[in-house]
Amino acid sequence: DSGVTQTPKHLITATGQRVTLRCSPRSGDLSVYWYQQSLDQGLQFLIQYYNGEERAKGNILERFSAQQFPDLHSELNLSSLELGDSALYFCASSDRGGADTQYFGPGTRLTVL
């Protein structure tokens, strides 16, 4: 158990809908990272927040957005969902902003029908 929690574990929704994934980092960690892992694309870095501020951006679509709240938990919002958004979404946390050792949560499996 890495200490990073993610909810929900599974999410099934329809195309065009909007969902919110939630992540609570390890106690004391200030950085949160979001990743998408699909079968055909491997692990893709989406975005990083450090102490409430956006720190780095990867291959995140405009339909996706994220934020980190004062209590350091983070939410990833996915809107206008498409079939291709079906994937495993991981959250990771680290204690610093330099993307060093990251501890991964169990992931949220999103299925878009």
Q: Output 2 or 15, the one with its CB closest to another protein.
A: 2
Tokens matching residue 51? 């102490």
- String of contacts with another protein for each residue 42-61, x by CB under 8 A: xxxx--x-x----xxxx---
CA distance to 27, 33, 48, per residue, from 44 (Å):
25, 11, 12
Total residues binding another protein (CB under 8 A): 26
* The dihedral sign for the CA sequence 65, 88, 102, 43: negative
Nearer to another protein (CB atom), residue 43 or residue 83: 43
Alpha-carbon gap, residue 35 to 79, rounded angstroms: 16
Q: Does 30 bind another protein (CB under 8 A)?
A: no
Instruction: Give contact residues for another protein (rule: CB under 8 A).
Output: 2, 31, 33, 35, 42-45, 48, 50, 55-58, 90, 97-107
